[in-house]
Amino acid sequence: MIVTRRALPRRTFLRGLGTALALPLLDAMIPPMTALAETAAAPGRLRRLGFVYIPMGCDITRWTPPETGKLDRLSPILESLGPVKGDVAVLTNLELRNAYPGTHATSNASFLSAAKAKLTESTDYHLGTTVDQVAARRIGSETPLPSLELAMDLLATVGQCDNGYACVYQNNLSWSSPTTPLPAEAHPRVVFERLFGDGGSAVERQEARKQRASLLDSITDEIARLRKRLGPSDRERVGQYLESLREVERRIQRAEANAKDGALPDLDRPTGVPASYADHARLMFDLQVLALQGDITRVVTFQLARETSGRTYPEIGVPDSHHPLTHHGNDPAKIARMAKINAFHVSLFAGFLQKLKATPEAGGSLLDHSLYLYGSGMGNPNLHDHTNLPILVAGGAAGQMRGGRHIHFAEPTPLANLHLTLLDKVGVHVDSFADSRGQLDELFEPLSI
């Protein structure tokens, strides 16, 4: 049988006023003449790799699942992962040898580089290319943005931050070379416009917002024309994507309105940033969903908070500053409050995973075609050590990863082994990464029950 229907190009954009909106992967984008095996492999070309960093380690006793092997029971900190535990693997006894002598700066710096940070307070800093940027050079070459660097803290400190280490090591997760840190963006409006707008200066962006009430309003005609070319399932998928986009717009606009209406100026929180930490974090996660779904980028890093963060969490009943709590001196009450923060961070990530899982793509979900590493470069924050790190991996890697398990390594194992493994599973094949000693085959082997 010969089919002559032409497929919709994967890089199809809806163009409006200063806007080029990428579309999610649709059935109409799969060539009708594609062989079955080739079609099955297509999602592999769209694998995504993400990294979420939490600062200052955690209470590892409340993090570690009670059994190894099948993940039947979750630990108190990981309890919110219940709806997606089949897509999650918890890995214990991983270490970062190059993060010693044991500082907050090196915890952050080594997490994605597994490299030793040069001890300096000046601009002659030196680290290593991070794993996300190794991936971005390969799988990021086909997307509008090779990678996306996000954070939650709007102000980056300068100078010396931690025991003789320059602040640049704590400010930046991602480095495109040993001497080139990549600044992260924490302002949702700036991220939104980077993904979907036409850029320009702050004044130009403000003027563009006045000209259009909504990104989607400027492409109404193009949306109508596109719908005529799509089948029922694709029309529904596009509709869900556009509604998610509009909802993110609404939330940013509400945050801007609330900021403008406030009686007192807030110099630390620019217009458009939700006042609540949780609302801000969820908005930044939702922007990641849209960026991945629209294939605007395939590589993301997200710093949920900086090392030595003094942030408080009154929304979960923890008014204490986070950093002092981590120097708990084995005080059970302080450890319990620290663990509550740990669990709160995990719950935000769990909500993000559920959205990825609920987003259909290529016979599966967006989560099926992604890999996300969540964790910290510090183990026990009271000791500032870098062993037995809190680490989990979520996603499916286009059917390759086997979730629903707790893997405990008998001997301390380099975190770089995991980085090397994740690179390989998204199609970036390198012989070694930093101090790696090989891949973690256990993560992708079928689980024996």
User: Is the residue at 35 inside a domain?
Assistant: no
Kindly state whether residues 293 and 435 are assigned to the same domain.
Answer: yes
User: Is the residue at 156 inside a domain?
Assistant: yes
Kindly state whether residues 166 and 291 are assigned to the same domain.
Answer: yes
Kindly state whether residues 290 and 331 are assigned to the same domain.
Answer: yes
What are the phi and psi torsion angles at 272 (to 5°)? Answer: 100, 0
Kindly state whether residues 240 and 376 are assigned to the same domain.
Answer: no
Kindly state whether residues 261 and 180 are assigned to the same domain.
Answer: no
- The residue segments making up the domain with residue 381 are 49-186+277-444
**What pLDDT does residue 225 have?**
77
Kindly state whether residues 161 and 204 are assigned to the same domain.
Answer: no
User: Is the residue at 8 inside a domain?
Assistant: no
**What pLDDT does residue 44 have?**
45
Task: For residues 229 and 217, give the distance between their C-alpha atoms in angstroms, rounded to a whole number.
Answer: 20
CATH code of the domain containing 299: 3.40.720
Identify which of 43, 20, 19 has the alpha carbon closest to the alpha carbon of residue 30.
Answer: 43
Q: What is the pTM of this model?
A: 0.82
Instruction: Show pLDDT as tens, one digit a residue, over the chain (449 residues).
Output: 233 345 556 555 555 545 556 667 676 666 554 443 333 344 444 589 999 999 999 999 999 999 999 999 999 999 999 999 999 999 999 999 999 998 999 999 999 999 999 999 988 999 999 999 999 999 998 888 999 999 998 766 655 577 789 999 999 999 999 999 999 999 998 898 888 865 555 565 556 555 545 666 767 777 777 777 787 877 777 777 777 677 777 777 777 666 555 443 333 344 568 889 999 999 999 999 999 998 999 999 999 999 999 999 999 999 999 999 999 999 999 999 999 999 999 999 999 999 999 998 877 899 999 999 999 999 999 999 999 999 999 998 666 788 899 999 999 999 999 999 999 999 999 999 999 999 999 888 765 54
**What pLDDT does residue 158 have?**
58
User: Is the residue at 14 inside a domain?
Assistant: no
Task: For residues 63 and 380, give the distance between their C-alpha atoms in angstroms, rounded to a whole number.
Answer: 11
Kindly state whether residues 174 and 290 are assigned to the same domain.
Answer: yes
User: Is the residue at 128 inside a domain?
Assistant: yes
Residue 135 carries which DSSP code?
Answer: H
Given 229, 253, 272, which residue is the final one in a domain? Answer: 272
**What pLDDT does residue 7 have?**
57
**What pLDDT does residue 249 have?**
74
SS3 204: helix
SS3 315: helix
Kindly state whether residues 373 and 231 are assigned to the same domain.
Answer: no
Task: For residues 69 and 90, give the distance between their C-alpha atoms in angstroms, rounded to a whole number.
Answer: 10
Identify which of 360, 428, 394, 427 has the alpha carbon closest to the alpha carbon of residue 45.
Answer: 427
Kindly state whether residues 181 and 316 are assigned to the same domain.
Answer: yes
**What pLDDT does residue 39 have?**
38
Kindly state whether residues 78 and 164 are assigned to the same domain.
Answer: yes
Kindly state whether residues 316 and 401 are assigned to the same domain.
Answer: yes
**What pLDDT does residue 102 have?**
87
User: Is the residue at 36 inside a domain?
Assistant: no
User: Is the residue at 6 inside a domain?
Assistant: no
Task: For residues 357 and 370, give the distance between their C-alpha atoms in angstroms, rounded to a whole number.
Answer: 10
**What pLDDT does residue 449 have?**
46
**What pLDDT does residue 408 have?**
97
**What pLDDT does residue 267 have?**
33
Taking phi first (over 0 means left), then psi (-120 to 50 degrees means alpha), and beta for anything else, what does residue 199 get?
left
Kindly state whether residues 177 and 206 are assigned to the same domain.
Answer: no
Given 272, 294, 312, which residue is the final one in a domain? Answer: 272
Given 272, 298, 328, which residue is the final one in a domain? Answer: 272
How many domains does the structure of the chain reveal?
A: 2
User: Is the residue at 130 inside a domain?
Assistant: yes
**What pLDDT does residue 5 have?**
46
